[in-house]
Protein backbone atom coordinates (compact mmCIF):
# COMPACT_ATOMS: atom_id res chain seq x y z
CA UNK A 1 0.00 0.00 0.00
CA UNK A 2 1.25 3.45 -0.89
CA UNK A 3 2.06 6.42 1.26
CA UNK A 4 -1.36 7.88 0.52
CA UNK A 5 -4.19 5.49 -0.31
CA UNK A 6 -7.67 6.38 -1.44
CA UNK A 7 -9.64 3.17 -1.59
CA UNK A 8 -13.02 3.11 -3.32
CA UNK A 9 -13.74 6.64 -2.12
CA UNK A 10 -17.12 8.15 -2.95
CA UNK A 11 -18.91 11.34 -2.01
CA UNK A 12 -22.60 12.06 -2.29
CA UNK A 13 -23.73 15.58 -1.40
CA UNK A 14 -27.23 15.83 -0.03
CA UNK A 15 -28.92 19.19 -0.12
CA UNK A 16 -32.13 21.04 -0.93
CA UNK A 17 -31.97 19.95 -4.54
CA UNK A 18 -31.57 16.28 -3.67
CA UNK A 19 -28.53 14.07 -3.76
CA UNK A 20 -25.54 14.69 -6.02
CA UNK A 21 -22.89 12.06 -6.47
CA UNK A 22 -19.73 14.12 -6.92
CA UNK A 23 -17.18 11.30 -6.70
CA UNK A 24 -17.62 7.57 -7.25
CA UNK A 25 -15.28 4.69 -6.44
CA UNK A 26 -12.10 6.73 -6.55
CA UNK A 27 -9.03 4.59 -5.98
CA UNK A 28 -5.51 5.97 -6.05
CA UNK A 29 -2.24 5.25 -4.34
CA UNK A 30 0.53 7.86 -4.05
CA UNK A 31 4.18 7.17 -3.31
CA UNK A 32 6.21 9.33 -1.01
CA UNK A 33 8.01 12.11 -2.88
CA UNK A 34 5.98 12.01 -6.06
CA UNK A 35 4.30 14.96 -7.73
CA UNK A 36 0.86 13.76 -8.73
CA UNK A 37 -1.33 15.96 -10.92
CA UNK A 38 -5.04 15.31 -10.90
CA UNK A 39 -6.43 16.58 -14.18
CA UNK A 40 -10.06 16.92 -15.08
CA UNK A 41 -12.73 19.17 -16.50
CA UNK A 42 -14.51 21.67 -14.31
CA UNK A 43 -17.01 20.04 -11.95
CA UNK A 44 -15.65 16.51 -12.26
CA UNK A 45 -14.94 16.26 -8.55
CA UNK A 46 -11.27 17.25 -8.21
CA UNK A 47 -11.80 19.63 -5.32
CA UNK A 48 -14.04 17.13 -3.60
CA UNK A 49 -11.27 14.52 -3.73
CA UNK A 50 -8.76 16.99 -2.33
CA UNK A 51 -11.15 18.16 0.39
CA UNK A 52 -11.69 14.58 1.51
CA UNK A 53 -7.96 13.92 1.65
CA UNK A 54 -7.45 17.20 3.50
CA UNK A 55 -10.14 16.08 5.93
CA UNK A 56 -12.48 19.02 5.25
CA UNK A 57 -15.17 16.65 3.98
CA UNK A 58 -15.86 13.09 5.03
CA UNK A 59 -16.23 10.49 2.28
CA UNK A 60 -19.64 8.82 2.12
CA UNK A 61 -17.98 5.58 1.09
CA UNK A 62 -14.50 4.09 0.94
CA UNK A 63 -11.39 4.77 3.01
CA UNK A 64 -8.52 7.24 2.97
CA UNK A 65 -5.22 6.35 4.59
CA UNK A 66 -2.09 8.42 5.11
CA UNK A 67 1.03 6.45 5.94
CA UNK A 68 -1.07 3.57 7.23
CA UNK A 69 -3.39 5.68 9.39
CA UNK A 70 -6.97 6.55 8.45
CA UNK A 71 -7.70 10.20 7.68
CA UNK A 72 -10.39 11.69 9.86
CA UNK A 73 -10.48 15.45 9.81
CA UNK A 74 -7.82 18.01 8.91
CA UNK A 75 -4.35 17.91 10.39
CA UNK A 76 -0.89 19.44 10.23
CA UNK A 77 0.43 16.45 8.26
CA UNK A 78 -1.47 17.67 5.19
CA UNK A 79 -0.67 21.21 4.08
CA UNK A 80 -3.18 22.88 1.77
CA UNK A 81 -2.74 25.60 -0.85
CA UNK A 82 -6.12 27.00 -1.83
CA UNK A 83 -7.20 28.22 -5.24
CA UNK A 84 -8.15 31.72 -4.13
CA UNK A 85 -6.08 33.71 -1.71
CA UNK A 86 -8.86 34.31 0.83
CA UNK A 87 -7.07 31.86 3.07
CA UNK A 88 -4.28 34.29 3.88
CA UNK A 89 -4.57 36.26 7.11
CA UNK A 90 -4.95 39.88 6.06
CA UNK A 91 -4.09 41.25 9.49
CA UNK A 92 -0.72 39.51 9.54
CA UNK A 93 2.40 40.35 7.55
CA UNK A 94 3.60 37.94 4.90
CA UNK A 95 6.24 36.68 7.31
CA UNK A 96 3.73 36.14 10.12
CA UNK A 97 1.44 34.33 7.71
CA UNK A 98 4.27 31.95 6.88
CA UNK A 99 5.11 31.51 10.57
CA UNK A 100 1.48 30.87 11.55
CA UNK A 101 1.73 27.09 11.81
CA UNK A 102 4.90 27.33 13.91
CA UNK A 103 3.17 29.82 16.18
CA UNK A 104 0.34 27.34 16.69
CA UNK A 105 2.89 24.82 17.91
CA UNK A 106 4.59 27.26 20.26
CA UNK A 107 7.89 27.41 18.39
CA UNK A 108 10.10 30.11 19.96
CA UNK A 109 9.92 33.46 18.23
CA UNK A 110 13.49 33.61 16.97
CA UNK A 111 13.28 30.15 15.45
CA UNK A 112 9.89 30.93 13.94
CA UNK A 113 11.29 34.01 12.32
CA UNK A 114 14.35 32.25 10.95
CA UNK A 115 12.25 29.45 9.44
CA UNK A 116 9.73 31.88 7.94
CA UNK A 117 12.54 33.95 6.41
CA UNK A 118 13.99 30.79 4.91
CA UNK A 119 10.71 29.87 3.21
CA UNK A 120 10.07 33.46 2.18
CA UNK A 121 13.38 33.30 0.37
CA UNK A 122 12.54 29.91 -1.11
CA UNK A 123 9.46 31.35 -2.82
CA UNK A 124 11.46 34.30 -4.10
CA UNK A 125 10.08 37.01 -1.83
CA UNK A 126 13.13 37.70 0.35
CA UNK A 127 12.91 41.17 1.86
CA UNK A 128 9.16 41.49 1.37
CA UNK A 129 8.11 39.81 4.59
CA UNK A 130 6.84 43.00 6.22
CA UNK A 131 4.12 43.52 3.62
CA UNK A 132 0.52 42.65 4.26
CA UNK A 133 -1.46 40.46 1.84
CA UNK A 134 -3.32 43.51 0.50
CA UNK A 135 0.03 44.89 -0.62
CA UNK A 136 0.91 41.77 -2.62
CA UNK A 137 -0.03 40.76 -6.16
CA UNK A 138 -2.01 37.59 -6.86
CA UNK A 139 1.13 35.67 -7.76
CA UNK A 140 2.91 36.84 -4.61
CA UNK A 141 -0.04 35.79 -2.49
CA UNK A 142 0.12 32.28 -3.93
CA UNK A 143 3.84 32.21 -3.19
CA UNK A 144 3.07 33.13 0.42
CA UNK A 145 0.45 30.37 0.59
CA UNK A 146 3.00 27.84 -0.67
CA UNK A 147 5.63 29.08 1.78
CA UNK A 148 3.10 28.97 4.63
CA UNK A 149 2.15 25.38 3.88
CA UNK A 150 5.79 24.27 3.49
CA UNK A 151 7.02 26.07 6.63
CA UNK A 152 4.66 23.87 8.62
CA UNK A 153 6.56 20.85 7.24
CA UNK A 154 3.57 18.68 6.25
CA UNK A 155 3.95 15.11 5.00
CA UNK A 156 2.06 15.98 1.84
CA UNK A 157 1.17 19.19 0.07
CA UNK A 158 -2.36 19.46 -1.36
CA UNK A 159 -2.77 22.15 -4.00
CA UNK A 160 -6.14 23.01 -5.53
CA UNK A 161 -5.59 24.84 -8.81
CA UNK A 162 -3.23 27.23 -7.02
CA UNK A 163 -2.34 29.12 -10.21
CA UNK A 164 -5.81 29.02 -11.78
CA UNK A 165 -6.55 32.70 -11.18
CA UNK A 166 -3.19 34.02 -12.41
CA UNK A 167 -2.30 35.44 -15.82
CA UNK A 168 -0.47 33.08 -18.17
CA UNK A 169 2.93 34.70 -17.69
CA UNK A 170 2.85 34.68 -13.89
CA UNK A 171 1.51 31.17 -13.98
CA UNK A 172 4.42 29.90 -16.07
CA UNK A 173 6.93 31.55 -13.73
CA UNK A 174 5.26 30.05 -10.65
CA UNK A 175 5.12 26.63 -12.25
CA UNK A 176 8.87 26.80 -12.74
CA UNK A 177 9.41 27.92 -9.14
CA UNK A 178 7.17 25.21 -7.75
CA UNK A 179 8.99 22.57 -9.78
CA UNK A 180 12.32 23.82 -8.39
CA UNK A 181 10.98 23.89 -4.81
CA UNK A 182 9.63 20.37 -5.18
CA UNK A 183 13.01 19.19 -6.46
CA UNK A 184 14.65 20.83 -3.41
CA UNK A 185 12.24 19.51 -0.79
CA UNK A 186 10.98 16.29 -2.38
CA UNK A 187 7.63 16.79 -0.71
CA UNK A 188 4.82 14.54 -1.82
CA UNK A 189 2.43 16.76 -3.79
CA UNK A 190 -1.14 16.28 -4.95
CA UNK A 191 -1.72 19.05 -7.44
CA UNK A 192 -5.11 19.69 -8.97
CA UNK A 193 -5.48 21.43 -12.28
CA UNK A 194 -7.61 21.61 -15.39
CA UNK A 195 -4.63 22.89 -17.38
CA UNK A 196 -3.12 20.09 -19.45
CA UNK A 197 0.19 21.83 -20.12
CA UNK A 198 0.59 22.64 -16.43
CA UNK A 199 0.11 18.98 -15.57
CA UNK A 200 2.70 17.79 -18.07
CA UNK A 201 5.16 20.46 -16.93
CA UNK A 202 4.96 19.54 -13.24
CA UNK A 203 3.89 15.95 -12.69
CA UNK A 204 5.70 12.70 -12.19
CA UNK A 205 2.30 11.09 -12.82
CA UNK A 206 -0.93 12.49 -14.18
CA UNK A 207 -4.33 11.16 -13.17
CA UNK A 208 -7.09 11.97 -15.62
CA UNK A 209 -10.60 12.14 -14.20
CA UNK A 210 -13.85 11.21 -15.83
CA UNK A 211 -16.59 13.78 -16.08
CA UNK A 212 -19.24 13.90 -13.33
CA UNK A 213 -21.63 13.03 -11.89
CA UNK A 214 -19.75 10.24 -10.23
CA UNK A 215 -16.37 11.60 -11.25
CA UNK A 216 -13.67 9.00 -10.94
CA UNK A 217 -10.14 8.23 -12.05
CA UNK A 218 -10.09 7.26 -15.70
CA UNK A 219 -6.40 6.68 -16.31
CA UNK A 220 -2.99 7.37 -14.81
CA UNK A 221 -0.16 8.42 -17.11
CA UNK A 222 3.45 8.38 -15.86
CA UNK A 223 5.56 11.31 -17.05
CA UNK A 224 9.13 10.08 -17.40
CA UNK A 225 10.68 13.34 -18.48
CA UNK A 226 13.67 15.04 -16.82
CA UNK A 227 13.33 18.23 -14.77
CA UNK A 228 13.39 21.07 -15.54
CA UNK A 229 10.88 20.27 -18.25
CA UNK A 230 11.38 21.60 -21.74
CA UNK A 231 7.93 22.37 -23.08
CA UNK A 232 9.13 22.29 -26.67
CA UNK A 233 10.83 18.90 -26.46
CA UNK A 234 9.53 15.88 -28.33
CA UNK A 235 9.03 14.00 -25.07
CA UNK A 236 6.84 16.77 -23.71
CA UNK A 237 4.76 16.78 -26.90
CA UNK A 238 4.38 13.02 -26.77
CA UNK A 239 3.02 13.02 -23.21
CA UNK A 240 0.91 16.07 -23.98
CA UNK A 241 -0.74 14.27 -26.90
CA UNK A 242 -1.27 11.14 -24.89
CA UNK A 243 -3.01 12.97 -22.05
CA UNK A 244 -4.83 15.20 -24.48
CA UNK A 245 -6.41 12.18 -26.11
CA UNK A 246 -7.66 11.03 -22.72
CA UNK A 247 -9.09 14.38 -21.69
CA UNK A 248 -10.46 15.17 -25.15
CA UNK A 249 -13.57 13.04 -24.85
CA UNK A 250 -14.27 14.44 -21.40
CA UNK A 251 -14.09 18.00 -22.68
CA UNK A 252 -16.29 17.30 -25.65
CA UNK A 253 -18.87 15.51 -23.67
CA UNK A 254 -18.99 18.43 -21.21
CA UNK A 255 -20.86 21.64 -21.69
CA UNK B 1 0.42 60.23 2.33
CA UNK B 2 1.10 63.63 3.85
CA UNK B 3 -0.29 65.47 0.86
CA UNK B 4 -3.44 63.35 0.82
CA UNK B 5 -3.92 64.09 4.53
CA UNK B 6 -3.40 67.79 3.88
CA UNK B 7 -5.95 67.57 1.07
CA UNK B 8 -8.43 65.89 3.42
CA UNK B 9 -8.06 68.60 6.04
CA UNK B 10 -8.28 71.32 3.41
CA UNK B 11 -11.47 69.64 2.20
CA UNK B 12 -12.96 69.68 5.69
CA UNK B 13 -12.11 73.35 6.21
CA UNK B 14 -13.52 74.35 2.84
CA UNK B 15 -16.62 72.20 3.39
CA UNK B 16 -17.39 73.78 6.76
CA UNK B 17 -16.66 77.27 5.44
CA UNK B 18 -19.14 76.64 2.64
CA UNK B 19 -21.71 75.36 5.12
CA UNK B 20 -21.45 78.53 7.19
CA UNK B 21 -21.57 80.67 4.06
CA UNK B 22 -24.78 79.01 2.90
CA UNK B 23 -26.21 79.40 6.38
CA UNK B 24 -25.26 83.11 6.38
CA UNK B 25 -26.81 83.72 2.97
CA UNK B 26 -29.94 81.82 3.93
CA UNK B 27 -30.47 83.79 7.11
CA UNK B 28 -29.69 87.18 5.59
CA UNK B 29 -31.49 86.89 2.26
CA UNK B 30 -33.93 84.03 2.49
CA UNK B 31 -35.45 83.69 5.94
CA UNK B 32 -34.77 87.07 7.55
CA UNK B 33 -36.26 86.19 10.90
CA UNK B 34 -35.02 86.56 14.46
CA UNK B 35 -35.81 82.90 14.82
CA UNK B 36 -33.06 82.03 12.35
CA UNK B 37 -29.90 83.88 13.37
CA UNK B 38 -26.95 84.22 11.05
CA UNK B 39 -23.67 82.50 12.02
CA UNK B 40 -21.99 85.56 13.49
CA UNK B 41 -24.24 86.21 16.52
CA UNK B 42 -24.20 82.47 17.18
CA UNK B 43 -20.39 82.44 17.23
CA UNK B 44 -20.40 85.46 19.53
CA UNK B 45 -22.81 83.70 21.86
CA UNK B 46 -20.67 80.54 21.74
CA UNK B 47 -17.65 82.59 22.69
CA UNK B 48 -19.46 84.02 25.72
CA UNK B 49 -20.59 80.56 26.79
CA UNK B 50 -17.03 79.25 26.41
CA UNK B 51 -15.58 82.15 28.39
CA UNK B 52 -18.00 81.42 31.20
CA UNK B 53 -17.10 77.70 30.94
CA UNK B 54 -20.79 76.92 30.49
CA UNK B 55 -20.49 75.27 27.08
CA UNK B 56 -17.55 73.12 28.18
CA UNK B 57 -19.54 71.89 31.16
CA UNK B 58 -22.50 70.86 29.06
CA UNK B 59 -20.28 69.16 26.50
CA UNK B 60 -18.36 67.36 29.22
CA UNK B 61 -21.55 66.19 30.90
CA UNK B 62 -22.96 64.77 27.67
CA UNK B 63 -19.72 63.26 26.44
CA UNK B 64 -19.01 61.60 29.79
CA UNK B 65 -22.39 59.87 29.68
CA UNK B 66 -21.93 58.85 26.07
CA UNK B 67 -18.49 57.44 26.74
CA UNK B 68 -19.49 55.54 29.87
CA UNK B 69 -22.61 54.02 28.33
CA UNK B 70 -20.84 53.35 25.07
CA UNK B 71 -17.96 51.50 26.72
CA UNK B 72 -20.32 49.55 28.95
CA UNK B 73 -22.52 48.59 25.98
CA UNK B 74 -19.51 47.55 23.89
CA UNK B 75 -18.01 45.55 26.76
CA UNK B 76 -21.26 43.61 27.06
CA UNK B 77 -22.02 43.45 23.34
CA UNK B 78 -18.71 42.17 21.97
CA UNK B 79 -18.53 38.89 23.95
CA UNK B 80 -22.22 38.21 23.37
CA UNK B 81 -21.81 38.88 19.65
CA UNK B 82 -18.80 36.57 19.52
CA UNK B 83 -20.73 33.83 21.30
CA UNK B 84 -23.75 34.22 19.02
CA UNK B 85 -21.53 34.11 15.96
CA UNK B 86 -19.52 31.12 17.17
CA UNK B 87 -22.04 28.78 18.74
CA UNK B 88 -25.25 27.77 17.08
CA UNK B 89 -27.16 27.02 20.31
CA UNK B 90 -26.26 30.45 21.65
CA UNK B 91 -27.47 32.02 18.42
CA UNK B 92 -30.76 30.17 18.51
CA UNK B 93 -31.24 31.16 22.12
CA UNK B 94 -30.21 34.81 21.97
CA UNK B 95 -31.19 35.89 18.47
CA UNK B 96 -34.83 36.40 19.50
CA UNK B 97 -33.57 38.75 22.22
CA UNK B 98 -31.54 40.90 19.89
CA UNK B 99 -34.22 40.81 17.21
CA UNK B 100 -36.81 41.86 19.78
CA UNK B 101 -34.95 44.61 21.61
CA UNK B 102 -33.42 46.28 18.61
CA UNK B 103 -36.90 47.34 17.55
CA UNK B 104 -37.50 49.06 20.87
CA UNK B 105 -35.48 52.23 20.42
CA UNK B 106 -33.61 53.70 23.36
CA UNK B 107 -35.79 56.80 23.10
CA UNK B 108 -38.81 54.64 23.91
CA UNK B 109 -36.96 53.29 26.93
CA UNK B 110 -36.42 56.73 28.48
CA UNK B 111 -39.54 56.51 30.62
CA UNK B 112 -38.64 53.15 32.15
CA UNK B 113 -35.05 54.24 32.54
CA UNK B 114 -36.15 57.25 34.57
CA UNK B 115 -38.55 55.15 36.64
CA UNK B 116 -35.82 52.60 37.36
CA UNK B 117 -32.77 54.81 37.74
CA UNK B 118 -34.12 58.32 38.42
CA UNK B 119 -32.89 61.38 36.58
CA UNK B 120 -29.29 60.91 37.74
CA UNK B 121 -26.37 59.64 35.68
CA UNK B 122 -27.47 56.01 35.80
CA UNK B 123 -30.51 56.42 33.60
CA UNK B 124 -28.50 58.13 30.86
CA UNK B 125 -25.64 55.65 31.00
CA UNK B 126 -28.18 52.84 30.88
CA UNK B 127 -29.85 54.31 27.80
CA UNK B 128 -26.57 54.80 25.95
CA UNK B 129 -25.45 51.28 26.87
CA UNK B 130 -28.82 50.00 25.69
CA UNK B 131 -28.60 51.74 22.35
CA UNK B 132 -25.01 50.53 21.91
CA UNK B 133 -25.27 46.93 22.91
CA UNK B 134 -27.58 45.54 20.20
CA UNK B 135 -25.82 47.22 17.30
CA UNK B 136 -22.49 45.90 18.55
CA UNK B 137 -23.89 42.40 19.11
CA UNK B 138 -25.38 42.16 15.64
CA UNK B 139 -22.36 43.48 13.84
CA UNK B 140 -19.92 41.35 15.86
CA UNK B 141 -21.97 38.20 15.23
CA UNK B 142 -22.16 39.04 11.53
CA UNK B 143 -18.37 39.45 11.52
CA UNK B 144 -17.80 36.03 13.04
CA UNK B 145 -20.18 34.53 10.47
CA UNK B 146 -18.30 36.22 7.65
CA UNK B 147 -14.88 34.76 8.44
CA UNK B 148 -13.79 33.09 5.22
CA UNK B 149 -14.08 29.31 5.20
CA UNK B 150 -10.62 28.92 3.69
CA UNK B 151 -9.08 30.96 6.52
CA UNK B 152 -10.43 28.47 9.03
CA UNK B 153 -9.55 25.46 6.90
CA UNK B 154 -6.00 26.73 6.41
CA UNK B 155 -5.60 26.99 10.18
CA UNK B 156 -7.05 23.51 10.65
CA UNK B 157 -4.57 22.03 8.24
CA UNK B 158 -1.77 23.74 10.11
CA UNK B 159 -2.91 21.94 13.23
CA UNK B 160 -4.92 24.67 14.99
CA UNK B 161 -7.20 23.73 17.89
CA UNK B 162 -10.71 25.12 18.18
CA UNK B 163 -9.49 27.65 20.72
CA UNK B 164 -6.61 28.72 18.49
CA UNK B 165 -8.96 29.16 15.55
CA UNK B 166 -11.15 31.38 17.67
CA UNK B 167 -8.35 33.49 19.16
CA UNK B 168 -6.01 33.69 16.18
CA UNK B 169 -8.38 33.61 13.20
CA UNK B 170 -12.01 34.38 14.02
CA UNK B 171 -11.32 37.15 16.50
CA UNK B 172 -8.86 39.23 14.46
CA UNK B 173 -10.94 38.70 11.32
CA UNK B 174 -13.93 40.11 13.19
CA UNK B 175 -12.24 43.25 14.52
CA UNK B 176 -13.26 45.45 11.57
CA UNK B 177 -16.89 44.39 12.03
CA UNK B 178 -16.75 45.13 15.75
CA UNK B 179 -15.30 48.57 15.13
CA UNK B 180 -17.86 49.30 12.43
CA UNK B 181 -20.65 48.30 14.79
CA UNK B 182 -19.21 50.56 17.48
CA UNK B 183 -19.04 53.40 15.02
CA UNK B 184 -22.74 53.05 14.18
CA UNK B 185 -23.54 52.70 17.87
CA UNK B 186 -21.69 55.93 18.60
CA UNK B 187 -23.90 57.79 16.14
CA UNK B 188 -26.98 56.33 17.85
CA UNK B 189 -25.57 57.38 21.21
CA UNK B 190 -25.69 61.02 20.12
CA UNK B 191 -29.37 60.72 19.22
CA UNK B 192 -30.15 58.99 22.48
CA UNK B 193 -28.25 61.35 24.78
CA UNK B 194 -30.02 64.43 23.46
CA UNK B 195 -33.43 62.82 23.85
CA UNK B 196 -32.60 61.57 27.34
CA UNK B 197 -31.28 64.93 28.49
CA UNK B 198 -34.28 66.73 27.06
CA UNK B 199 -36.55 64.65 29.21
CA UNK B 200 -34.58 64.15 32.36
CA UNK B 201 -31.38 65.94 33.20
CA UNK B 202 -29.80 68.83 35.03
CA UNK B 203 -27.06 69.44 32.53
CA UNK B 204 -25.71 68.40 29.15
CA UNK B 205 -26.31 69.62 25.61
CA UNK B 206 -29.85 68.23 25.52
CA UNK B 207 -30.72 70.13 28.68
CA UNK B 208 -29.15 73.24 27.15
CA UNK B 209 -31.39 72.89 24.11
CA UNK B 210 -34.46 72.50 26.28
CA UNK B 211 -33.69 75.48 28.53
CA UNK B 212 -32.90 77.68 25.56
CA UNK B 213 -36.27 76.85 24.09
CA UNK B 214 -38.06 77.77 27.30
CA UNK B 215 -36.37 81.17 27.42
CA UNK B 216 -36.38 81.68 23.66
CA UNK B 217 -32.58 81.98 23.54
CA UNK B 218 -32.35 81.14 19.87
CA UNK B 219 -28.54 81.61 19.72
CA UNK B 220 -28.07 79.09 22.53
CA UNK B 221 -30.08 76.53 20.60
CA UNK B 222 -27.82 76.97 17.61
CA UNK B 223 -24.69 76.77 19.75
CA UNK B 224 -25.90 73.44 21.14
CA UNK B 225 -26.78 72.13 17.68
CA UNK B 226 -23.41 73.08 16.22
CA UNK B 227 -21.63 71.56 19.22
CA UNK B 228 -23.47 68.28 18.64
CA UNK B 229 -22.58 68.27 14.97
CA UNK B 230 -18.93 69.02 15.57
CA UNK B 231 -18.60 66.52 18.41
CA UNK B 232 -20.25 63.80 16.37
CA UNK B 233 -18.04 64.61 13.43
CA UNK B 234 -14.89 64.52 15.55
CA UNK B 235 -15.85 61.26 17.28
CA UNK B 236 -16.63 59.62 13.97
CA UNK B 237 -13.26 60.70 12.58
CA UNK B 238 -11.54 59.12 15.58
CA UNK B 239 -13.37 55.90 14.81
CA UNK B 240 -12.43 56.03 11.19
CA UNK B 241 -8.81 56.43 12.22
CA UNK B 242 -9.10 53.50 14.61
CA UNK B 243 -10.70 51.27 12.00
CA UNK B 244 -7.97 52.27 9.58
CA UNK B 245 -5.24 51.55 12.11
CA UNK B 246 -6.63 48.15 13.07
CA UNK B 247 -8.18 47.04 9.86
CA UNK B 248 -7.68 49.57 7.12
CA UNK B 249 -4.81 47.72 5.59
CA UNK B 250 -7.06 44.87 4.65
CA UNK B 251 -10.28 46.71 4.08
CA UNK B 252 -9.60 49.89 2.18
CA UNK B 253 -13.33 50.60 1.81
CA UNK B 254 -13.63 51.72 5.42
N1 LIG C 1 -21.05 21.18 -0.91
C2 LIG C 1 -21.59 20.70 -2.05
N3 LIG C 1 -22.91 20.44 -2.12
C4 LIG C 1 -23.48 19.96 -3.24
N5 LIG C 1 -22.79 19.73 -4.38
C6 LIG C 1 -21.48 19.97 -4.39
C7 LIG C 1 -20.81 20.48 -3.24
N8 LIG C 1 -19.49 20.64 -3.54
C9 LIG C 1 -19.36 20.25 -4.83
N10 LIG C 1 -20.55 19.83 -5.34
C11 LIG C 1 -20.78 19.33 -6.70
O12 LIG C 1 -19.91 18.25 -6.91
C13 LIG C 1 -19.37 18.30 -8.21
C14 LIG C 1 -17.86 18.31 -8.12
O15 LIG C 1 -17.44 19.54 -7.58
P16 LIG C 1 -15.90 19.90 -7.40
O17 LIG C 1 -15.22 18.81 -6.65
O18 LIG C 1 -15.81 21.25 -6.82
O19 LIG C 1 -15.40 19.91 -8.92
P20 LIG C 1 -14.03 20.43 -9.54
O21 LIG C 1 -13.13 20.86 -8.43
O22 LIG C 1 -13.50 19.28 -10.32
O23 LIG C 1 -14.37 21.56 -10.45
C24 LIG C 1 -19.96 19.51 -8.88
O25 LIG C 1 -21.02 19.10 -9.69
C26 LIG C 1 -20.44 20.36 -7.74
O27 LIG C 1 -21.56 21.09 -8.13
MG1 LIG D 1 -12.30 22.75 -8.01
Residue nearest to atom 26 of ligand 1 (CA): A43
Query: Which residues in chain B are closer than 8 Å to A96, comparing Cβ atoms?
Result: none
Number of domains comprising chain B: 2
**Which of A193-207, A241-255, B104-118, B203-217 shows the highest mean pLDDT?**
A193-207
Residues B123 and B197 in one domain: yes
Q: Residue B157: which of A74, A105, A133 has the nearest Cβ?
A: A74
For A255, half-sphere exposure in the C-beta direction (CA atoms, 13 angstrom radius) is 1
Range name among A12-21, B101-110, B244-253 with the lowest pLDDT average: B244-253
CA of A48 to the centre of ligand 1 (A): 6
Query: Which residues in chain A are closer than 8 Å to B250, comparing Cβ atoms?
Result: 90-91, 132-134
A192: helix, strand or coil: strand
What pLDDT, on a 0 to 100 scale, did the predictor assign at position B239? 87
Residue B187 lies in a domain: yes
- In chain A, domain spans: 4-77+155-254, 88-153
Residues B99 and B171 in one domain: yes
The rounded distance, in Å, linking the Cα atoms of B134 and B109 is: 14
Question: What mean pLDDT is predicted for residues B232-236?
Answer: 92
Residues B151 and B189 in one domain: yes
Question: What does the pLDDT look like over A206-238, one tens digit per residue?
Answer: 999 998 788 899 999 999 999 889 999 999 999
Residues B11 and B77 in one domain: no
Residues B126 and B73 in one domain: yes
What pLDDT, on a 0 to 100 scale, did the predictor assign at position B251? 47
Query: Residue B137 in contact with residue B101, Cβ under 8 Å?
Result: no
Residues B74 and B196 in one domain: yes
Question: What does the pLDDT look like over A25-48, one tens digit per residue?
Answer: 999 999 999 999 999 999 999 999
Residues in contact with ligand 1 (CB, 6 Å cut-off): A 13, 15, 20, 22, 40, 42-48, 212
Domain containing B16 equals 1-36
Question: What mean pLDDT is predicted for residues A164-190?
Answer: 92
Interface test with A, best of B148, B154, B164 (most A CBs within 10 A): B154
Query: Residue A76 in contact with residue B157, Cβ under 8 Å?
Result: yes
For the domain that residue B83 is a member of, what is the CATH number?
1.10.3720.10
Pairing label, strands A205-209, A35-39 = parallel
Interface test with A, best of B152, B158, B163 (most A CBs within 10 A): B158
The rounded distance, in Å, linking the Cα atoms of A223 and A203 is: 7
What pLDDT, on a 0 to 100 scale, did the predictor assign at position B224? 94
* A247/chain B closest Cα distance in angstroms: 29
Residues B21 and B127 in one domain: no
Nearest CA in chain B to A85: B150
Question: What does the pLDDT look like over A189-210, one tens digit per residue?
Answer: 999 999 999 999 999 999 999 9
How buried is residue B253: exposed, middle or buried, by Cβ count under 10 Å (0-12/13-18/19+)?
Answer: exposed
Instruction: Enumerate long-range contacts of B144-147, CB under 8 Å, 24 or more apart.
Output: B144/B81, B144/B82, B144/B84, B144/B85, B144/B86, B144/B170, B144/B174, B144/B177, B145/B85, B146/B173, B146/B177, B147/B173, B147/B174
Residues B16 and B53 in one domain: no
Predicted complex ipTM: 0.93
Question: What mean pLDDT is predicted for residues B5-23?
Answer: 89
Instruction: Decide if pLDDT at A13 tops 90.
Output: yes
Alpha-carbon distances, residue B101 vs B30, B95, B148 (angstroms): 44, 10, 29
For B115, half-sphere exposure in the C-beta direction (CA atoms, 13 angstrom radius) is 5
Query: What residue spans of A123-208 are helical by DSSP H?
Result: 138-151, 168-185, 196-202
Please tell me whether the peptide bond between A228 and the residue prior to it is cis, using omega within 30 degrees of 0. yes
The rounded distance, in Å, linking the Cα atoms of B206 and B195 is: 7
Please count the helices (runs of H) and the strands (runs of E) in chain A: 8, 10
Alpha-carbon distances, residue B55 vs B50, B217, B227, B238 (angstroms): 5, 14, 9, 22
Residues B31 and B80 in one domain: no
Q: Residue B250: which of A56, A90, A148 has the nearest Cβ?
A: A90
- What CATH number labels A4-77+155-254? 3.40.50.300
Residues near A221 by Cβ (< 8 Å), separated by ≥ 6? A205, A206, A207, A208, A239, A242, A243, A246
A13: helix, strand or coil: strand
Query: Residue A94 in contact with residue A116, Cβ under 8 Å?
Result: no
Model pTM score: 0.85
Model confidence band, residue B247 (pLDDT cutoffs 50, 70, 90): low
Residue B58 lies in a domain: yes
B181: helix, strand or coil: helix
Model confidence band, residue B1 (pLDDT cutoffs 50, 70, 90): low
Instruction: Decide if pLDDT at B181 tops 90.
Output: yes
Alpha-carbon distances, residue B151 vs A80, A107, B227 (angstroms): 11, 21, 44
Residue B254 lies in a domain: no
Question: What mean pLDDT is predicted for residues A138-147?
Answer: 94
Residues B78 and B103 in one domain: yes
Cα–Cα–Cα angle for A18, A20, A24, rounded to 5 degrees = 150
The rounded distance, in Å, linking the Cα atoms of A201 and A206 is: 10
Amino acid sequence: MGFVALDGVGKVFRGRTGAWEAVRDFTLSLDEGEFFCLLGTSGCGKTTVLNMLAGFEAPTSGRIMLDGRPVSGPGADRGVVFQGHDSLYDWLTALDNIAFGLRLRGTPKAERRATAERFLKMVGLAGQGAKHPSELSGGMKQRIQIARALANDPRILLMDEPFGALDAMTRAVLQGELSRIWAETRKTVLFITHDLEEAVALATRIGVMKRGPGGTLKAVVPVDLPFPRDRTSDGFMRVFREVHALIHEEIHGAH
Amino acid sequence: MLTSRAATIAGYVAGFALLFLVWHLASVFLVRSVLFPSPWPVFERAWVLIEDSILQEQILASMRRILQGFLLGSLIGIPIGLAIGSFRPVRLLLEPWTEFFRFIPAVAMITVAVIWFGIGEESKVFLIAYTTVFVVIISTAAGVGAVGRDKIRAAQSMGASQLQIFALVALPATVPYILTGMRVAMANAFVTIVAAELVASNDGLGKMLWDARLFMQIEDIFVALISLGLLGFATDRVFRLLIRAFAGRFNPTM
